Amino acid sequence: MAVKTIHCVVVGVYAAPVQDDEAVTVVANLADHLRSTGT
């Protein structure tokens, strides 16, 4: 639960200042990173 909340907050922070295409890339990379860390 906490991880999903943090994930949403981080995605929002990262996605806000960038354009849509960049945001998609950042979100995808972040998701991969979270999966690789296992958190």
Dig out the tokens for 1 from the structure: 């639960």
- Note down the domain range covering 9: 2-37
**Cα(4)–Cα(9) distance, integer angstroms:** 9
pLDDT at 37: 78
pLDDT at 4: 73
Dig out the tokens for 26 from the structure: 């950042």
CB burial string 5-17: b at 16+ within 10 A, e below = eeeeeeeeebbee
- Total domains in the chain come to 1
pLDDT at 17: 60
Q: Tens of pLDDT along 18-34? A: 556 777 787 788 888 88
Share of the chain above pLDDT 70, in %: 54
Nearest alpha-carbon partner for 26 in 14, 13, 8: 14
pLDDT at 20: 64
